[in-house]
Amino acid sequence: MSNKSKDSISIANILAVIGLVGLGVLSFFGLYFQSQDGTPTKPLIVAVAIVAGLAILLILAVRAKAANDNPDKWRIVEIICVVLYLTVAALCAKPFLHFFKVVSEKEQIQKEARAEIAAVEDLYATYKAQTQDFMADAVEQFKNFSKSSQTMVAGDPLSDYYTNIIVGDVDEWADLSNSLLSLPADARLADLKSQVSTWNYLKLPQLAKDLKAAEDRAWKQVNAKIVFGNDHNLIPVVNGGDGVPYSLGDFAAYNLPEQCKATMASRLQEPGNNVLGWVLYVLLHLLILLDYLVAPRSTFVGPSKATTTNGLDL
């Protein structure tokens, strides 16, 4: 508001708009970083609602301050609006502060994102290496068994497996089993690595979602292959050798790495405070409330006449 003209746009008005826009944009990003679906719709709606609520309270406070009739009642309205403004500002500080938390922890979040990708790559590599080791051991043991003097007996699990499944050609059986159990690494991991390096803040929630999906997909695929291999007896464990009779033991037992506990998604959603964020948050609200502070106040003179005391010329 201005003391020059009731309907003119003052510098204080412009500063308030700038402050509200800045508050809305940074609050949106803070909410967006915490979104689990990676879409901006809900964060945008909430950010607009916060800004709209503060703007309405600010306008009501300014109007009530300048009201000419029933000053006592409008004074109460003014106080209520200011108190509500400060309350809403305090309650809605988290999204704004969260933006600065994410920005300040960029390197740590990148580190955890890379660790997630490395964990997925390690899972694929571990599964592949252990499968090759299990298969190589089984091939060697079956060949040793076939060359040994141990008699194959119908009804013996090892003899039945060699006779009915391997059918004499161990290498051909191994090639078929390897082809059925092979699991190439996720080709999309290279793109995720590139996104972590470029670090586009507009795409962080989607990146976190994609990283989580890549990890879930890797574990699902590896576990499915292991179950498939066990259900179809693709990698048996052959015990014996060096004078000990050969026998069919259990099937391959994998020792896979643990899932990554510290994830980019959990870090983005983790609340926290930031000193710079608090300082800027307070300054922005002071910038917004300047419109109220410099607004003229109505003063009654006598029972029916009122005058207006001008605020600062802003």
Q: Where are the domains of the chain?
A: 11-103+270-309, 106-267
pLDDT attached to residue 299: 62
Give the CA distances from residue 163 to residues 176, 189, 229, in Å, rounded to whole numbers and listed in that order.
16, 42, 19
Evaluate whether 20 touches 287 at the Cβ level (below 8 Å).
Answer: no
- Residue 219 is which amino acid? W
pLDDT attached to residue 217: 94
Q: Which residues are CB-neighbours of 125 under 8 A, at least 6 positions away?
A: 185
Q: Are strands 297-301 and 244-251 parallel, antiparallel or unpaired?
A: unpaired
Q: How many residues are given for the chain?
A: 314
Evaluate whether 235 touches 177 at the Cβ level (below 8 Å).
Answer: yes
**DSSP structure class, residue 35:** -
The closest of 301, 276, 226 to 101, measured between CA atoms, is 276
What does the alpha-carbon distance between residue 217 and residue 204 come to, in Å, rounded to a whole number?
20
pLDDT attached to residue 241: 84
Tokens matching residue 304: 């029916």
pLDDT attached to residue 2: 40
Tell me the helices (H) and strands (E) count for the chain, helix number first: 11, 4
What does the alpha-carbon distance between residue 248 and residue 197 come to, in Å, rounded to a whole number?
49
pLDDT attached to residue 120: 95
What does the alpha-carbon distance between residue 227 and residue 108 come to, in Å, rounded to a whole number?
36
Give the CA distances from residue 189 to residues 58, 62, 77, 210, 290, in Å, rounded to whole numbers and listed in that order.
49, 55, 58, 10, 50
What does the alpha-carbon distance between residue 197 and residue 211 come to, in Å, rounded to a whole number?
14
pLDDT attached to residue 300: 52
236 pairs with which residues across the strands? 251
What does the alpha-carbon distance between residue 4 and residue 167 come to, in Å, rounded to a whole number?
101
Q: Could you read off the pLDDT tens digit of each residue along the chain, which spans 314 residues?
A: 344 445 578 899 999 999 999 999 999 999 999 988 888 999 999 999 999 999 999 999 999 988 888 878 899 999 999 999 999 999 999 999 999 999 999 999 999 999 999 999 999 999 999 999 999 999 998 888 888 888 888 888 888 888 888 887 899 999 999 999 999 888 899 999 999 999 999 999 999 999 999 999 999 999 999 999 988 888 888 888 888 898 888 888 899 998 877 788 888 888 878 889 999 999 999 999 999 999 887 665 445 444 455 554 44
The kind and range of the H/E element at 145 are helix 106-147
Evaluate whether 135 touches 231 at the Cβ level (below 8 Å).
Answer: no
The residue ranges of DSSP E strands in the chain, in sequence order, are 236-241, 244-251, 297-301, 305-309
